Structures are given as C-alpha cells and as structure tokens.
Structure 1
Amino acid sequence: MSGNTVPSGSKDQLHARFITFNVNGLRTFFHYQPFSDMNQSLEKAFEYLDADIITLQELKTDRHSITRWGKVNGFYSFISLPQTKRGYSGVGCWVRVLPKEHPLSGALQVIKAEEGITGLLSVKTNRTAVCYRDDPIGSIGGYESLGIDEEDDKEGLYLDSEGRCVMVELACNVVVISVYCPANSSHSVEGASFRIKYLKVLFKRIRNLYKMGKQVVLMGDINVCRDLIDHAEALERASIKISNNTTGFEIESTFPMECKQFILNPDTPFRRILNQMLADSIIAEFAGDGILWDSTRVMQTRKRLKMYTVWNTLKNSRPINYGSRVDYVLCTETLKKLITSADILPDITGSDHCPVYADFDLRSLADNLSPISGKIPRFEARYKFDLLHRNVLEMFGKNGTSRGTGEKRYNVHKKPLVSPKATAKLPEDKLTAGDSVTVSQTTMTRSFPSREYPKLPVKETGTPPLCNHGLEAIQRTSRTQANPGKKFWICKLPKGVSGDKDSSCGFFQWA
C-alpha cells in the first residue's frame, strides 16, 4: 500500500471498527472542522467516526462537565479522570450498544470494566467501595507480580492517580485498553522514573491477561515512537537514503542495523521497553518474546514512511508532515489474524494528533462468548458519576423517546472514513456528507473538509528583517529562564528537513 492509502470499501456488519484519538481537550477539539459544526456533541462526532469501539485520550475535562460527555446516546461510556489535577489528562472508552438482532451484539457486550492499570482503584458496589482486584464478580484479573510494592498500595495508586487508563472486557474474550502514557515533557528525573514504571506495569498487566487466555487490544497514545522510521527528526538525523519507486518506498539494506542502534540507544529506554512487547519488532530477540502486533504496520507494511500521528503545532509542522507516530492500535496474535483494514487518518483535524483505526472480522470470536449477566459494570459513567438523576427535560429527546437507552437504529453497513484529498475531485454541488461514489472500483464515503490549524496573530514591534529565504521574519517572545520576555525574529516557515526549501532556514535574530 502506498503512503496515500485511505480506508476503502464498505465493511460488512461482522467487521468491528476500533478507533483511537488523542483529542487534546474536548472543548478545543470541537473548535475545528468537521467537529465545529456538531454543537459539542460527542454523539455527532461518534456518528462521523462510525466506529464500534472509540477511545479518546487527553479529555482535559472534570466532574462538573462530565454530564456533557458521560451520556452518549447509543454508547456505554467508561471515563477515567485525574484525582489530583483538575482538567488534566483523562481517557475514555465508548462501546456501541447494539440491538439484540445484530450479529455482533453478543461479542461486543461489555461484561467488565476497570479504571487504571493496577486494579487498586475503587468502585462502588451497592453502598460500599471495593478495589477492582478485590471484586470477585467484576475483576478483569492479571494483577500478579506487576512490579509494585505488594505490601503498600501507595505506589500503585500514585501510578493510577492521573486518569490515564480504562480497561473494558468484552464477551468475546477481548480486553480493550484505552491508555494515555506519560511523556515526561518536563524532562525531570522524577518524570522519567514515573514514565518507565508506568510502561512496565502496563505491559506486565497485558502479559498477565494474555497468559490468562484473554485477547488484548491496546489502543491510544503510548507516547513512544517504536522505530526510527516513525520519527521525522530521527530519520533526518540518521541520514538514511530513501528511494521512491513505483511500488513504494525502499530502504537500503543497511537500515536494520541503523534502526537497531536507534532502538537500543541508552537515551531511549522507552523505545526499548515498547519493542520488547512487539511480536513484529525488527529486533529478533524482542520479537521472539513479544505478544502485541502493530495493526497499522500489519496492513501498511514497513515500506510506508512518514506515517505520523502527531505534529508540533507551535512550529506548524503538520502541513509539511514533519512529526512522529506515537498513537497505535496494538493487538495480540489471534486478533492480528482478524484485521481487515488499519490506517491513520491524518486529514481529520481537531487536535495535534490524528485518529488511528483498525477493523476486525470478529466472526470466529462471536461463536464462543463468555456468560453475559446483563448487568452494566458500575464503572459505567452514568453510575460512577451519578448521571442517572436527570431533570424532566433531559429525559426525552426531540422525538419523545427516552434518551441514553441505546435504542438508536444501528447502521450495519459501515462507512469508511476518507481523507478530503481522496474526494477533492468530486462535484461539490452534487454531493453532501454521507453520499457514496465509486472511485477506482472502490466505494468511499465523502468526509467533511479539513482545515489547517488557525494561525494566531503575532504582535510585532519594529521592521521585520529578512531571513535566509528572503522572506520577512516573524517575531516571537522568549520563555527561557535566561531571557524571559525578550523578543526575537525567526524564519516564518515551519521546522522540517534540513535543506528543504519549504522548511525553516534556521534564521534567528534578537529584536
């Protein structure tokens, strides 16, 4: 597949779509197309994404606002918020409620749900609270030997205090994990220690679940680039020669050694920890013990380069695709064999990240289901955040039917998401969102148009000097400790590959 590959072909009702998206704040997420036209409605956003399992990271919301996000018609909602930092982090997993006659209604039925990676957080059962690992009915399991102090819960509770993980077990024996792993943006020793510990405990828990016979889908922002080819700056640094031919990108035979050195560099322990979990790592010793497959690479192969999922918005790096890949849908081997489609969706804006999706044919899993009690886990947002007490006006929708029951008609014919580039040549005056057309024998659904991040006005003083391109420079303000508030001029073009005429020339001058 080429780098311009987009989701194609309508998937049938037996193909479940899993999609993950770091939205970098639900409120700002709705400032950008196509979501700005949706009246801050997650229901409309989910209708657009058209997936069965949706995980979002960096919700950046709080309990006072959860009534808006915790009740989505047609979905069960599982949301974790930080306990100490208000409006920080936060992840969620939404599972579509299917009618009983739907072929996947049994397979996608939620039977258990947890908050956190350690099982030490508590959930209310009747009038008492019990931690997940001590709940004989609702426990997902896999808590043994996680590498945290077994005698003192403080370390484990600290790891789970920032609202970074939600786990949902489905009746088809699949545990879905929505995670936002720490990045240590402050570059502190404490932050690095927390980051390493979090990854190790998370991956140990996944290994434990796998040993129990459960299949796992780990989806979200791992905050780690798995390989050199997943990081624009690293590719530039390594000076790897790339040639482009009719079949796609080819990498020189020296690449594996370069990548091995990159992965094993002492400065990148997080990349090593991730690769030790990957059954498709290019490092044979890691792959042999790995249990997770990178669904995007399974379908797109390693020939596809510049497949980034996050970009630096301050440097406006998205238009020239100078970014990195840190968002994944990873799965265990049984599920890897059921992947029918997987890709990134870089033309969908709304965040500094883009969505990532994978479709699975769950036909074989739907025949052997775990017992279903019919009870919704107490972690479901309506119970956890006490959202069942609504006023009369909230209880009914416009058509007079009860809201939040999940009885919305389900479209069994999934519509693929298509980048605006793929539909740019379609007649704008004759098509509306949702129309289908045939392009190169492939049925696609027209998506909403995307737009670049808005450029905020910069208050400048003095006449701008010319950069090395001969263009007027733009003014910025220093936020460093050495020169706080001091003005300076830089090249107006975004940072990119050295020598690229469309990238910054590196010009700098104090104002």
Structure 2
Amino acid sequence: MRLVSWNVNGLRACLNKGFLDFCHVADADILCLQETKMRPEQADFDLPGYHRYWNSADKAGYSGTAIFTRPEPLAVTYDFGMDEHRHEGRVITAEYPEFYLVCCYTPNSKDQLARLDYRLAWEDDIRDYLCELDEKKPVVYCGDLNVAHTEKDIKNPGPNRRNPGFTDEEREKMTRLLDAGFVDTFRTLYPDKTGAYSWWSYRFNARKNNAGWRIDYFIVSERLRDRIKNADIWSEVTGSDHCPVVLEI
C-alpha cells in the first residue's frame, strides 16, 4: 500500500500547477492533504476511483485537510478532543480494517511564538488521542507536523533555534510522541541522512539552495516498524512550498 501526504498550500492554486497530473503519477492508494484552504464545493475536479473526505476550517481560505482514498474506510471522523481543537479543520481520522490513519495539519506556533502555549497543549492532547487509537489497532499518523525534530532535519539549526517549528519545546514534544510507542518512518530507514527536506521558504532562493526543513512526516505505531517497505521525500515535485512525503507499507 502506498500512502502520500502533501501540504499543498492551497489546493485550488495547486490544481493549476499540475496537481491532477501528480495524482496520476503518484498512484497513491491513500492521499492525505494539508492546508487545502477551501471547501469541497469551491473546486470541481475529476479524480476517479477515490473516495474524498474534507475537513474545512470555520475561517474561509484557512488551514483545512483532506483524504482521498481508494479503499473505502470503515469510518471517518473529524477533529478530536476539546472544542478549541475543532474549528480549524486540522485532523481527519479514517479507520481501515488493519489500522487507523490520522491526517494532521499541526498548528504553527507563529511569529514571536505567539501561539506556542496552544501548540504545546495541542501536542499533549493529540499524543493522548493517538495513544487511545493505538490501544485498539495500529496507527499511521501523517501530515505537516510543523516541527523539525533534530538538527539533521533542518539546514541551518543554529540561527533557527528559537524560530517556530524548531524550539526546544516543540522538538521535545515530538520526542515524547516517539517515546510513547511510535516511529518516524523516514528516520527508521535513514537514521543519519542529511539534506532531506520537505519545506522551503519562498524567500532567499531557499529551495534552489536546498535550505529547507523536514517538517512533513509519516509516523506509525511501533508494531508496524517491520512492515515499512519504503519512506521517501519527493523533493522534485513542485506546486507548493512543501513537497510530498511517501510511505509504502
């Protein structure tokens, strides 16, 4: 099974940059999107063979997630936890016979870390949620998780030390998630690889110079570790400031 996750940074814009051609080439069994920035009725496009599930933010043109899946899930739920987590379209959970799939667009802690306290509370709550699911069946957790976990996951760790997505607090929350019984699929296969990034700023020719961050992930329950066939980052795919990440399991 091939799963693909991609922050498209506005699906309507990405549709004009070859999104459907990408879908054909990617040949994903399940495609998870983040930052769709739309409601499903705002774009009419043909994607035969896929069931589509959308979670749109209350605020127009903001955030949002989607799952396009060939196998029909047993059940699909939207958002999780307390009311504060339920207005920005950030989580979709699809249940399949052998696992739960959680597509997530993690809140950014914002400039001057204005939203860091909320971000840290979110991390605790979603870790609890994932652990609850994991008690029932294995979990595949994917999306733009808005953190570069280690210094290997960012081009310039020193200057970015207290920037959103590379604070000690956010990185520690990722460590706590992994310690709770989950594995980072890319690092499982490539523990020491550097220069592998999934997001680049639009400024300073960052993508051309590969001055990026790895902030998009597939994380799975520990008991799925031996079933990981491939984990990849398709950095050659354009259309967004992020590129797709891939898991074959």
Per the normalisation by structure 1, the TM-score is 0.46
- Look up the match of 1:200: 124
- Look up the match of 2:74: 111
Structure 1: 4+ residue segments shifted above 4 A: 235-238
Cα distance, 1:187 vs structure 2: 3.0
Distance (whole Å) between structure 1 residues aligned to residue 218 and residue 42 of structure 2: 28
Q: Unaligned stretches of 5+ in structure 1?
A: 1-15, 98-108, 119-155, 239-261, 279-288, 361-511
Q: For 2:29, which of 43, 47, 52 is the aligned residue?
A: 52
Distance (whole Å) between structure 1 residues aligned to residue 113 and residue 169 of structure 2: 15
- Look up the match of 1:79: 54
Residues 165-204 of structure 1 correspond to what in structure 2 (within 5 A)?
165-172=91-98, 174-187=99-112, 189=114, 191-204=115-128
Q: For 1:292, which of 182, 185, 210 is the aligned residue?
A: 182
- Look up the match of 2:172: 272
- Look up the match of 1:10: none
Deviations 1:397-420 (A, max 9, x none): xxxxxxxxxxxxxxxxxxxxxxxx
Helix, strand or coil: the match of 1:233? coil
- Look up the match of 1:233: 156
- Look up the match of 1:209: 133
Cα distance, 1:88 vs structure 2: 0.6
Q: For 1:164, which of 61, 83, 90 is the aligned residue?
A: 90
Q: How many residues align?
A: 246
2:183 maps to amino acid: W
Is 1:76–1:96's contact at 8 Å kept on the other side of the alignment? yes
Distance (whole Å) between structure 2 residues aligned to residue 30 and residue 178 of structure 1: 20
Distance (whole Å) between structure 2 residues aligned to residue 344 and residue 111 of structure 1: 29
Deviations 1:399-452 (A, max 9, x none): xxxxxxxxxxxxxxxxxxxxxxxxxxxxxxxxxxxxxxxxxxxxxxxxxxxxxx
Is 2:131–2:180's contact at 8 Å kept on the other side of the alignment? no
Distance (whole Å) between structure 1 residues aligned to residue 34 and residue 160 of structure 2: 30
Distance 1:188 1:308, change over 3 A: closer
Is 1:55–1:92's contact at 8 Å kept on the other side of the alignment? yes
RMSD (Å), alpha carbons: 2.1
Structure exhibiting the larger radius of gyration computed from Cα positions? 1
Is 2:153–2:194's contact at 8 Å kept on the other side of the alignment? yes
Distance 1:63 1:49, change over 3 A: closer
Cα distance, 1:236 vs structure 2: 7.0
Q: Unaligned stretches of 5+ in structure 2?
A: none
Distance (whole Å) between structure 1 residues aligned to residue 139 and residue 41 of structure 2: 32
Distance (whole Å) between structure 2 residues aligned to residue 94 and residue 353 of structure 1: 18
- Look up the match of 1:402: none
Structure in which a larger fraction of residues adopt helix: 2
| Residues 1:96 and 2:70 are matched in the alignment | yes
Cα distance, 1:63 vs structure 2: 5.0
Is 2:80–2:86's contact at 8 Å kept on the other side of the alignment? yes
2:220 maps to amino acid: C
